[in-house]
Amino acid sequence: MPKVRTKDLIDKFKLEILSGEEGINRPIITSDLSRPGIEIAGYFTYYPAERVQLLGKTELSFFERLSEKEKEGRMDQLCTDVTPAIIVTRDMEIPTELLEASEREGVPVLSSPMKTTRLSSHLTNFLEGKLAPTTAVHGVLVDIYGVGVLIIGKSGVGKSETALELVKRGHRLVADDCVEIRQEDQDTLIGNSPELIEHLLEIRGLGIINVMTLFGAGAVRSYKRITLVINLELWDPQKQYDRLGLEEEKMRIIDTDLTKLTVPVRPGRNLAVIIEVAAMNFRLKRMGVNAAEQFTTKLASVIEEGDNDEE
């Protein structure tokens, strides 16, 4: 099922339909836009017909210089059976040849009062958000000191209870149980909650609670960029856990690698505080302060001084 159709653009940007109304359900498959100036000049060899076409002052002023026969031919070629829409900006007068060709092919011709560059920017941002690759992850997403922390782990390990404690400590819940993730850029993952369970937390023994109702609007947010993954796992005495923090594990979601920390769970460990400190330490590392590396450097210098004294 198409994620975006032409009618979504009409509703979002309040565009006026001038002709080709039968095509408003056409799918839009790419966020790339086209300003078909070179096509109006007659070069259609690489015409990206599947893109939304924008006609501004430059394109239409050149179009007026063409002969009547050229005008008809160019507009016939511009309107194809896969073109989702042709948008004329600045509320400019629509060429009769375009209206006639669009009616024949069922291509919606839309009008906007916005300038071409501004509309192009808004359209691109909207389409990139809608057409971004998406996935869903079982876990909890919390905004901790501005860091989007995705908490994952096996069912029953204590993810939701930890999230509840974090909310009590003043942090904000984004999603519980199911986190919908979309990749908006090369390395930007945005997480949000499915609409059905937004602002809800499931705590075993209590049931479902509404975080916004209990803690206020400041305890929740609709979406957050994910930058850190924390994996909660039951303590395994046979496993060697990282005690210095020099090793950096990665987790790939869609096409983006995220820093992943594994935190062992056992009675007596305050997971909320550990995750809170992990988020603060992650921020420090991004600012160039790495406590583990500083300690290792100091340790190496002490050992070196000791060796020199023995000599």
- Annotated binding-site ranges: 153-160, 202
- What b/e sequence results for 192-204 when a residue is b if at least 16 CB atoms lie within 10 Å of its CB, and e otherwise? bbeeeebbbbeee
One of 118, 138, 169, 286 is an active-site residue; which one? 138
65 an active-site residue? no
Strands 256-265 and 249-253: antiparallel
Contact 34, 105 (CB under 8 A): no
What residue type is assigned to position 291 of the chain? Answer: A
Instruction: Exactly one of 177, 199, 221, 224 is catalytic; name it.
Output: 177
Residue ranges for the binding site for Mg(2+)? Answer: 160, 202
Strand partners, 46: none
Are the CB atoms for 139 and 226 separated by under 8 Å? no
90 is catalytic: no
List the beta strands (DSSP E) in 52-108: 52-55, 86-88
DSSP one-letter code for 92 = P
How far from 217 is each of 113, 211, 214, CA to CA, in Å?
36, 9, 9
From the list 5, 159, 172, 224, the catalytic residue is: 159
**Residue 26 a catalytic site member:** no
HSE of 7, CA atoms in CB hemisphere, 13 A: 7
Q: Is 239 marked active-site?
A: no
* Catalytic site residue from 243, 252, 307, 309: 243
Nearest residue to 15 (alpha-carbon basis) of 125, 131, 122: 122
- What are 134's strand-pairing partners? 182
Binding residues for ATP: 153-160
How far apart are alpha carbons 284 and 254 in whole angstroms?
A: 26
Other CB atoms within 10 A of residue 222 CB: 10
List, by residue number, the catalytic residues.
138, 159, 177, 243
